[in-house]
Amino acid sequence: MQKIIITPNEVAALLGYSESYGRKIIRDLKKKLGKKHITYKTFADDYGFTIEEVMNGVKEKKIA
Protein backbone atom coordinates (compact mmCIF):
# COMPACT_ATOMS: atom_id res chain seq x y z
CA MET A 1 0.00 0.00 0.00
CA GLN A 2 1.33 3.42 -0.97
CA LYS A 3 1.59 6.20 1.62
CA ILE A 4 -0.74 9.11 0.83
CA ILE A 5 -0.33 11.46 3.81
CA ILE A 6 2.29 14.18 3.38
CA THR A 7 4.53 14.89 6.36
CA PRO A 8 5.90 18.22 7.61
CA ASN A 9 9.48 17.27 6.68
CA GLU A 10 8.34 16.47 3.13
CA VAL A 11 6.53 19.82 2.87
CA ALA A 12 9.59 21.62 4.24
CA ALA A 13 11.95 19.94 1.78
CA LEU A 14 9.66 20.55 -1.20
CA LEU A 15 9.26 24.25 -0.40
CA GLY A 16 12.74 24.86 1.00
CA TYR A 17 11.65 25.71 4.54
CA SER A 18 12.46 24.38 8.01
CA GLU A 19 10.59 21.40 9.39
CA SER A 20 8.89 23.62 11.98
CA TYR A 21 7.54 25.80 9.17
CA GLY A 22 6.43 22.61 7.39
CA ARG A 23 4.41 21.74 10.51
CA LYS A 24 2.83 25.20 10.44
CA ILE A 25 1.86 24.76 6.79
CA ILE A 26 0.24 21.39 7.52
CA ARG A 27 -1.52 22.77 10.62
CA ASP A 28 -2.85 25.77 8.65
CA LEU A 29 -4.09 23.56 5.80
CA LYS A 30 -5.88 21.24 8.24
CA LYS A 31 -7.60 24.21 9.85
CA LYS A 32 -8.45 25.88 6.53
CA LEU A 33 -9.86 22.71 4.98
CA GLY A 34 -11.30 21.16 8.14
CA LYS A 35 -9.39 17.93 7.61
CA LYS A 36 -7.63 15.60 10.01
CA HIS A 37 -4.88 14.65 7.54
CA ILE A 38 -3.37 16.30 4.46
CA THR A 39 -2.75 14.08 1.45
CA TYR A 40 -0.24 14.61 -1.32
CA LYS A 41 -3.16 15.49 -3.63
CA THR A 42 -4.63 18.05 -1.22
CA PHE A 43 -1.23 19.69 -0.73
CA ALA A 44 -0.58 19.74 -4.48
CA ASP A 45 -3.96 21.29 -5.24
CA ASP A 46 -3.65 23.96 -2.57
CA TYR A 47 -0.09 24.96 -3.50
CA GLY A 48 -0.54 24.84 -7.28
CA PHE A 49 1.58 21.76 -7.94
CA THR A 50 0.62 18.66 -9.86
CA ILE A 51 0.52 15.44 -7.89
CA GLU A 52 3.38 14.18 -10.06
CA GLU A 53 5.55 17.17 -9.10
CA VAL A 54 4.96 16.51 -5.42
CA MET A 55 5.54 12.75 -5.66
CA ASN A 56 8.67 13.19 -7.80
CA GLY A 57 9.98 15.90 -5.49
CA VAL A 58 9.59 13.66 -2.47
CA LYS A 59 11.22 10.76 -4.29
CA GLU A 60 14.13 12.91 -5.57
CA LYS A 61 14.84 14.27 -2.12
CA LYS A 62 14.53 10.75 -0.67
CA ILE A 63 12.25 11.94 2.07
CA ALA A 64 9.89 9.70 4.01
Helix (H) or strand (E) holding 24: helix 19-33
Query: ∠ CA(54), CA(56), CA(60), 5° rounding?
Result: 120
Quote the pLDDT of residue 62. 66
**pTM, rounded to two decimals:** 0.86
**Owning domain of residue 15:** 8-60
Contact predicate 42/35, CB 8 Å: yes
The total number of structural domains that make up the chain: 1
Contact predicate 57/21, CB 8 Å: no
| pLDDT, tens digit (0-9, with 9 covering 90-100), for 10-49 | 999 999 999 999 999 999 999 999 999 999 999 999 999 9
Distances (CA, A) of 48 to 1, 2, 17, 42, 45: 26, 22, 17, 10, 5
3 located within any domain: no
2 located within any domain: no
